Amino acid sequence: MRVDLSFGELIELWKRDPTRLFEILRPLVEEMLGPVKRVVEHATYFNPNGPVIVIEYMVEVEEGKVGIKILHGDDPVKALVEYYEAERTNFCSGTKGR
């Protein structure tokens, strides 16, 4: 799903309330997976030089949990590679390990 928000707009929305940003995707997620029971921000990666942002949520639905990512970058594949590299080297912020 494409959402027309700039890097700056995504950052501002995330700063206000990370889980509210998920609400943009809720209708699509519920259409595909059924009602959402719970949403928790899992991890976030920023690269202002990219500019790249990846925000991952753990979403609980009837069937279990699924990871949903919001990303911004010129190259989505490169953005995900950066995110997973940052995750591997502990350069992501988030709730992992808590």
- The predicted-structure confidence for 1-38, as pLDDT tens digits, reads as follows 677 888 888 889 889 998 888 998 899 999 999 999 99
Q: Is 90 exceeded by the pLDDT of residue 67?
A: yes
What is the number of other CB atoms lying within 10 angstroms of the CB of residue 74?
A: 9
Distance of CA 71 to the CA centre of its chain: 6
Could you tell me the pTM of the whole model?
0.82
How sure is the predictor about 94, in pLDDT bands with cuts at 50, 70 and 90?
A: low
Helices (H), 2-75: 7-16, 18-22, 26-33
Between residues 2 and 39, the one the model is more confident about: 39
Task: Give the burial class of 80: count Cβ atoms within 10 A of its Cβ; 0-12 exposed, 13-18 middle, 19 or more buried.
Answer: middle
**6 φψ region: left (φ > 0), alpha (ψ -120 to 50), beta (else):** beta
Q: Which residue has the tokens 């949903």?
A: 68
